[in-house]
Structure 1
Amino acid sequence: MTNRHSNTIVISIKKPVFLNMLFVVLFFLGSTQFIKAQNKDLTWDELANQYECPEWFRDAKFGIWFHWGPQAVPEQGGGWYARHMYMKDVGRQKFGKMANPYHLQTYGHPSEFGFKDIIHAWKAEKFDAEYLINFSKENGAKYIVALANHHDHFDLFNSSYHPWNSVNVGPKKDIIGAFEKATRNAGLKFGVTSHDDRFLNWWQPAFGADKTGEYAGIPYDGRLTKADGKGKWWEGLDPKDLYGPAPEDRTPEIIEDIKKNWLKRHIELVTNYKPDLLYNDGFNFTYGDYGKEVTRKLYNNSLKDNGKIDAVMLLKKQAKGTVNEVESGGSNTLRAYPWQSEITFTDWFYKKDRHLTHNARTILEMLIEAVSKNGNLLLSMELKPDGTIPDEIKKSVKIVGDWLKINGEAIYGTRPWTVYGDGRSVRGEAVETVGGELRNATESQKHGEHFNQRTTATPAFAHDEVRYTTKGDNFYITVMNPKGGEFVIPSLGKSSEVTPGNLKGLIQLYNGRKVSYKQTNNGLTINMPVVNGDSYPVVLKAKFKKKH
């Protein structure tokens, strides 16, 4: 209404209308603040304090890793070919003993044909990311991981800050970009790995020279300069950008610039390709705070895109805000927090002079072991230099895939039981082991977890060895090396402190056939059906009623 005694106009608003308008204003202001909060980058401590391993990672259990790059080109010489090709004596690193003689015979002297030229020879001419991802998905992988760079300091993505990358040199392809697109199209999670932090020391041999012989004193190609490339295929590129500066030129200022360059490259990697997972191959964050800053960017990107931190950062060290990675091994215990085991078929890059460390049996054993202990398994499926899968590797992965099609419900989306299993090795009884294996067998063998993997040389499990997983009220018993006849599982006795209670309706998962059993106070006696010859692990499924 209008006040006749004043020039001021007063508008009367009914209370409900006023409250509604106030609510709209407050909602708008609140939404604005919420958006600002969502757009604000959190500090590392803020992110680490709220971090929990994403459920997708816990449910996925099995991933395939394409640990692939120019070091796949030579057919012999181990997984550190780029370093060992410059070394007459590889010391204790015997896996690289063939690199130098093979290089001399195949390519010539490293003063004339160095690793930069191996990169140039890598064409990845049959690389088909869509096929590789679909093959992996068909055979059970729930997430895909690809190598972004190795110790050789070569980027496999479209790097704005490093000219030695797969778009400029070698394949002339964005390898990570192709993997990322194909993985997203397949509906899988995508990760990348970086192993670049040690390249300066790793490349030291590239600056040496033969001490005797025809080429004595002639420097290897690590000492070439940009000017030396005039008229050659690498004209315009500086070898120093690949191998690093000569050891005598590495001042603190230059080292700091290298770290800053690493930061720029990896911020670009996590920003442009939006990985769900990042693994830095080290026991701590790469270059300290620089690596932590990349992880901060990874997590903030995920927080903005998903409303929560749905990404995974893997380190070999157990550190707050990250997930622990175990190289070529597994956990000795059932862990409270999720973790990951990583294994590969030969030397991380495919070589014909090495026997396969793994086959379908050992891959399944490593997978089942990891899942029973609250972990995942990441399998490196090495590729030929042209980008195709070697037949012997393809065969093993297909067997694993077939097993998972039948038994996957005991793996995917499961959670561990109170204990991970039973059997001779679990009880600490003497078991047969092989040299270099530190599997969880006895107290004296529990000295480490990295490189304690089961391999093709590892003796078979005892016939009473079992592992447990659960899902809802389903209880899964995986018999690792089944044999027809009776065996006893003490931990599942009715009086056991860890028993799931009364088990009901024990069946073989692969055919639904009932399995004869008897549960007493002292244990669960299972009468396994006859197994013809060697068998892959067999999953038994039961319902259980927890003890009160």
Structure 2
Amino acid sequence: MMKLYINKLVAPLILLVTLCCVCTTGYAQDNSKELSWDQLAEQYSCPEWFRDAKFGIWFHWGPQSVPEQGGGWYARHMYMKDVGRQKFGKMANPYHLQTYGHPSEFGFKDVINQWKAENFDAEALINFSKENGAKYIVALANHHDHFDLFESSHHPWNSVNVGPKKDIIGEFEAATRKADLKFGVTSHDDRFLNWWKPAFGSDNEGEKAGVPYDGRLTKADGKGKWWEGLDPKDLYGPAPEDRTPEIIEDIKKSWLKRHLELVTKYKPDLLYNDGFNFTYGDYGKEVTRKLYNNSLKENGSIDAVMLLKRKAKGTVNEVESGGSNTLREYPWQSEITFTDWFYKTDRHLTHNARTILEMLIEAVSKNGNLLLSMELNPDGTIPYEIKKSVIIVGDWLKINGEAIYGTRPWKVFGDGKSVRGEHVETVEGELRNAVAAQKKGEHFNQRTTATPLFANDEVRYTTKGDDFYIVVMNPSKGELVIPSLGKSSDVNPGKLKSLTQLYDGRKIIFKQANDNLRITIPVVNGRSYPLVLKANFKNIEF
């Protein structure tokens, strides 16, 4: 009887262990040789391709580009009568009411259905970007609206099922590989639960007062509608009162599955999570671990980049709509866009060719890259005024790219009034430089079309091997005085032997004294884009 009792006790345990082995065998086989996140972070260094590339184009594009007005958070602000301090979205609700109707009847899910991307040609967009200087391409995989722009096995609200009926990320990835460029994706999905709360509200007054917005619709409500079979809850999330810890945890696990599929299926060289920390903590680290291990298997080294807004071991720092105030020891990236991240006709352009070049040169001189969001029309074409600016940037890079691509910073990033902390005309949001009191804020601290021009003495430095480049940010005819390049300067530039204009090899007249370098700038017709001079120093210290 005792033997029979033991057998009855042990058998279920054996079965349980066997099931555990079966369930984990596949994972163990795939991951048995993979490194942990801590091991990867310990050995990580930013790959040379990223450091050399310097300039990337970002297609921050999705269904929120469909409405012509209303800001870059249209999906949220269309449900809000009062957007508070987020004034960029103040037109969303009135525009939505006038254009589409009340959000109880026509919500953001219906805006998604309006997005057809009918003229989307990934190959043409990538070729245009490459022709105009981009060395890597980045595409939006999802925004705060919780809509995936790739063929997701774990999320029905995606661009293959709804809207364009196209694998946007897949088409971008294929075209980018064909053009022999590096490919990246961005995810902004971690805040969608709080971001979508207004979709569960209702008007406080008027004829629709108390009528719930479409966030409260159920799957059953879709019977006979275009969205039959889809559950609005999968897009907007559960109603705020239903968000138990268990449901929140399931949402995080779903995020993990979606993003593991994203980095495995499309094999990006770069991933940016729009947050200051890893998305959902360890879940975000697990996606990055998979990204890096995939790269390690593919390349023999970690050749991928993970970008975060906060400096964290094993990642590269991202600065949104701003730049670094100082020369950084480690590589980083600045990101900028033309309007509100999704193209809107009710907003003036924040950038033009001049400011893009200024932000690019600023970044490169301080050991960084620039990622430019080239906003698209809802049909997938480039707005004319944006296209025009990018072409000018491309023309400048064709002539002066030698001073940008593959370069490294010098011991100091430049010289000029702003670098020395002297008074310069500024506007709110302008990128500041090395003034101690101005080092605190870097995000949303960019040069824009409203920013006064640089002083004529502003220069930035880049190097490549033994070559030294002086970029004159706002050249004007006459004498340019650069204190940091004097023979007795603390940064020890050495003796200047020759100085030429990069674009035509023309020799530039100069006089180097102990306390400064004086350069005679030749004729500049009107307002000029930055001028690059190539210097040959004897005994310069790099």
- On whether the aligned pair clears a TM of 0.5, the verdict is yes
Question: What is residue 137 of structure 2 aligned with on the other side?
Answer: 144
- Alignment partner for residue 147 of structure 2, among 141, 154, 161? 154
Q: Using the alignment, how far apart are the partners of 2:147 and 2:117 within structure 1?
A: 15
Query: What amino acid maps onto 1:366 in structure 2?
Result: M
Q: Using the alignment, how far apart are the partners of 1:120 and 1:243 within structure 2?
A: 15
Say whether 1:127 aligns with 2:97: no
Say whether 1:290 aligns with 2:283: yes
Q: Using the alignment, how far apart are the partners of 1:519 and 1:282 within structure 2?
A: 47
Question: What is residue 269 of structure 1 aligned with on the other side?
Answer: 262
Question: What is residue 422 of structure 1 aligned with on the other side?
Answer: 415
Say whether 1:249 aligns with 2:249: no
Distance apart, 1:503 and its partner CA: 1.9
Say whether 1:303 aligns with 2:317: no
Say whether 1:164 aligns with 2:157: yes
Q: Using the alignment, how far apart are the partners of 2:331 and 2:429 within structure 1?
A: 26
Mapping of residues 173-188 of structure 1, within 5 Å = 173-188=166-181
Distance apart, 1:501 and its partner CA: 1.2
Question: What is residue 305 of structure 2 aligned with on the other side?
Answer: 312
Q: Using the alignment, how far apart are the partners of 2:218 and 2:261 within structure 1?
A: 27
Question: What is residue 523 of structure 2 aligned with on the other side?
Answer: 530
Instruction: Answer yes or no: is the 8 Å Cα contact 2:326–2:434 preserved in 1.
Output: no
Distance 1:374 1:438, change over 3 A: closer
Question: What is residue 512 of structure 2 aligned with on the other side?
Answer: 519
Instruction: Answer yes or no: is the 8 Å Cα contact 1:438–1:447 preserved in 2.
Output: no
Say whether 1:236 aligns with 2:264: no
Distance 1:297 1:37, change over 3 A: closer
Q: Which moved more, 1:322-331 or 1:443-452?
A: 443-452
Classify the secondary structure of the residue corresponding to 1:540. Answer: strand
Distance apart, 1:37 and its partner CA: 12
Q: Using the alignment, how far apart are the partners of 2:434 and 2:346 within structure 1?
A: 31
Classify the secondary structure of the residue corresponding to 1:362. Answer: helix
Mapping of residues 423-462 of structure 1, within 5 Å = 423-437=416-430, 439-440=432-433, 442-462=435-455
- Alignment partner for residue 395 of structure 1, among 388, 398, 401? 388
Query: What amino acid maps onto 2:494 in structure 1?
Result: G
Instruction: Answer yes or no: is the 8 Å Cα contact 1:431–1:441 preserved in 2.
Output: no
Say whether 1:56 aligns with 2:49: yes
Classify the secondary structure of the residue corresponding to 2:198. Answer: helix
Instruction: Answer yes or no: is the 8 Å Cα contact 1:429–1:441 preserved in 2.
Output: no
Distance apart, 1:187 and its partner CA: 0.2
Q: Using the alignment, how far apart are the partners of 1:512 and 1:215 within structure 2?
A: 70
- Alignment partner for residue 39 of structure 2, among 30, 41, 46? 46
Classify the secondary structure of the residue corresponding to 2:420. Answer: coil
Q: Using the alignment, how far apart are the partners of 2:50 and 2:209 within structure 1?
A: 53
Question: What is residue 357 of structure 1 aligned with on the other side?
Answer: 350
Mapping of residues 476-491 of structure 1, within 5 Å = 476-491=469-484
Question: What is residue 22 of structure 1 aligned with on the other side?
Answer: none
Q: Using the alignment, how far apart are the partners of 1:428 and 1:251 within structure 2?
A: 53
Deviations 1:405-426 (CA, angstroms, capped at 9, x unpaired): 0000000000000000000000
Deviations 1:115-150 (CA, angstroms, capped at 9, x unpaired): 000000000000000000000000000000000000
Distance apart, 1:441 and its partner CA: 6.1
Question: What is residue 63 of structure 2 aligned with on the other side?
Answer: 70
Q: Using the alignment, how far apart are the partners of 2:30 and 2:300 within structure 1?
A: 11
Distance apart, 1:511 and its partner CA: 1.1
Distance apart, 1:438 and its partner CA: 5.1
Question: What is residue 467 of structure 2 aligned with on the other side?
Answer: 474
Instruction: Answer yes or no: is the 8 Å Cα contact 2:323–2:431 preserved in 1.
Output: no
Question: What is residue 323 of structure 1 aligned with on the other side?
Answer: 316
Instruction: Answer yes or no: is the 8 Å Cα contact 1:280–1:315 preserved in 2.
Output: yes
Deviations 1:305-354 (CA, angstroms, capped at 9, x unpaired): 00000000000000000000000000010000000000000000000000
Distance 1:506 1:41, change over 3 A: same
Distance apart, 1:491 and its partner CA: 0.3
Instruction: Answer yes or no: is the 8 Å Cα contact 2:292–2:302 preserved in 1.
Output: yes
Distance apart, 1:542 and its partner CA: 1.4
Q: Using the alignment, how far apart are the partners of 2:341 and 2:503 within structure 1?
A: 33
Q: Using the alignment, how far apart are the partners of 1:223 and 1:89 within structure 2?
A: 20
Indicate the RMSD between aligned Cα atoms, in angstroms: 1.2
Question: What is residue 26 of structure 1 aligned with on the other side?
Answer: none
Q: Which moved more, 1:123-132 or 1:431-440?
A: 431-440
Distance 1:66 1:161, change over 3 A: same
Query: What amino acid maps onto 2:313 in structure 1?
Result: K
User: Could you tell me the percent identity over the aligned residues?
Assistant: 85
Query: What amino acid maps onto 1:218 in structure 2?
Result: V
Distance apart, 1:547 and its partner CA: 4.7
Say whether 1:280 aligns with 2:283: no
Say whether 1:211 aligns with 2:204: yes
Distance apart, 1:39 and its partner CA: 6.8
Distance apart, 1:497 and its partner CA: 1.5
Q: Using the alignment, how far apart are the partners of 2:87 and 2:116 within structure 1?
A: 28
Deviations 1:483-512 (CA, angstroms, capped at 9, x unpaired): 000021000000012132122220111111
Q: What TM-score, normalized to structure 2? A: 0.94
Instruction: Answer yes or no: is the 8 Å Cα contact 1:140–1:401 preserved in 2.
Output: yes
Deviations 1:261-319 (CA, angstroms, capped at 9, x unpaired): 00000000000000000000000000000000000000000000000000000000000
Structure 1 alignment gaps of length 5 or more:
1-35
Instruction: Answer yes or no: is the 8 Å Cα contact 2:429–2:447 preserved in 1.
Output: no
Q: What TM-score, normalized to structure 1? A: 0.93
Q: Using the alignment, how far apart are the partners of 1:502 and 1:158 within structure 2?
A: 59
Instruction: Answer yes or no: is the 8 Å Cα contact 1:156–1:174 preserved in 2.
Output: yes
Distance 1:441 1:459, change over 3 A: farther
Question: What is residue 225 of structure 1 aligned with on the other side?
Answer: 218
Q: Using the alignment, how far apart are the partners of 1:260 and 1:487 within structure 2?
A: 59
Say whether 1:82 aligns with 2:75: yes
Q: Using the alignment, how far apart are the partners of 1:529 and 1:394 within structure 2?
A: 31
Q: Using the alignment, how far apart are the partners of 2:302 and 2:439 within structure 1?
A: 34
Distance apart, 1:440 and its partner CA: 2.0
Question: What is residue 194 of structure 1 aligned with on the other side?
Answer: 187
Distance apart, 1:442 and its partner CA: 3.4
Query: What amino acid maps onto 2:441 in structure 1?
Result: G
Instruction: Answer yes or no: is the 8 Å Cα contact 1:332–1:439 preserved in 2.
Output: yes
